[in-house]
């Protein structure tokens, strides 16, 4: 019984840490580099016939050139709403509509803008690390509860805490790796 509970706590912790890592990746993808990427706009909410709908449900995206993103709406009637939502998203992009598709030209980033984006991704990375450490802390509390309630041996708790620490260190290192890659991408001219 107690081993099942321990396995459950550890598996739950692994899943939560993996989700935290995926969240950090998604946050990084939403920060603009000099290149066109659909991840920047696919979650922009569009007022589609009175319902807030993510853009990725309303259109296809293509990147014919490194600095050009083409949005092809499924419903041409939604073109104006999509264009308005992208314009209001404060992404520094000016949508141009030709009646069939919306073109977004990504301007080159200034040095100052690149540095501000680096600060943003560093903040997002730190938030991710804090979340991962919070998951570890929560798992430790659950293990301590099992120790009290189920009589889990002290040496087993210590072994599991070492496993938790290793998982945490590995995931924090992955966040650092993602951060280094994103910083390099942002500072690349």
Same domain, 149 and 181: yes
pLDDT tens by residue, 70-111: 999 998 888 888 888 888 877 777 888 888 889 988 777 788
Mind giving me the DSSP string for the chain? -HHHHHHHHHHHHHHHHHHHHHHHHHHHHTS--SS--GGGTTT-EEEETTEEEEGGGTEEEEEEETTEEEEEESSGGGHHHHHHHHHHT-SS--EEE-SS-EEEE-PPPPHHHHHHHHHHHHHHHHHHHHHHHHHHHHHHHHHHHHHHHH---HHHHHHHHHHHHHHHHHHHHHHHHHHHHHHHHHH--
The pTM score is 0.70
pLDDT above 70: percentage of residues in the chain: 97
**Mean pLDDT over residues 9-20, rounded?**
94
- For 122, the domain range is 2-30+110-187
Question: Quick check: 189 pLDDT over 80?
Answer: no
pLDDT of residue 31: 75
When pLDDT is cut at 50, 70 and 90, the band that residue 32 belongs to is low
Residue 128 pLDDT class (50, 70, 90 cuts): very high
> Does residue 63 have a pLDDT over 80?
yes
Q: What is the pLDDT of residue 109?
A: 75
Residue 185 has pLDDT above 80, yes or no: yes
Distances from the Cα of 28 to the Cα of 23, 31, 175, angstroms:
9, 5, 10
pLDDT at 66 over 70: yes
Q: How many domains in the chain?
A: 2
pLDDT > 90: percent of the chain? 32
Summarize the confidence of residues 25-46 as an average pLDDT. Answer: 78
What the block records as the tokens of 172 is: 């924090």
| 82 & 58 share domain | yes
End position of a domain, from candidates 105, 132, 160: 105
Residues 21 and 50 in one domain: no
User: What are 183's two structure tokens?
Assistant: 């910083």
51-54 and 45-48: which strand pairing?
antiparallel
pLDDT at 137: 95
Single residue among 47, 77, 105 that ends a domain in this structure: 105
CATH number at residue 8: 1.10.132.20
- Look-up: residue for tokens 């920060």? 31
143 and 96 co-located in one domain: no
**Average pLDDT value for residue range 27-34:** 75
Residue 79 near residue 97 (C-beta atoms within 8 A): yes
Domain co-membership, 138 together with 172? yes
Same domain, 124 and 181: yes
């Amino acid at each position: 019984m107690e081993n099942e509970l321990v396995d459950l706590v550890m598996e739950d912790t692994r899943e939560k840490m993996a989700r935290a890592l995926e969240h950090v990746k998604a946050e990084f993808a939403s920060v603009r580099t000099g290149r066109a990427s659909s991840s920047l706009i696919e979650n922009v909410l569009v007022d589609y016939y009175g319902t807030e709908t993510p853009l990725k449900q309303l259109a296809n995206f293509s990147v014919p050139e490194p600095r050009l993103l083409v949005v092809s709406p499924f419903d041409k009637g939604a073109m104006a709403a999509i264009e308005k939502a992208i314009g209001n998203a404060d992404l520094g992009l000016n949508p141009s509509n030709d009646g069939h598709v919306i073109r977004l030209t990504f301007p080159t980033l200034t040095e100052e803008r690149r540095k501000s984006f680096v600060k943003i991704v560093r903040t997002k990375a730190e938030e991710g690390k804090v979340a991962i450490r919070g998951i570890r802390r929560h798992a430790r509390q659950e293990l301590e509860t099992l120790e009290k309630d189920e009589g889990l041996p002290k040496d087993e708790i210590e072994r599991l805490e070492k496993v938790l620490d290793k998982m945490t260190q590995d995931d924090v290192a992955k966040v650092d790796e993602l951060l280094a890659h994103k910083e390099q991408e942002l500072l690349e001219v």
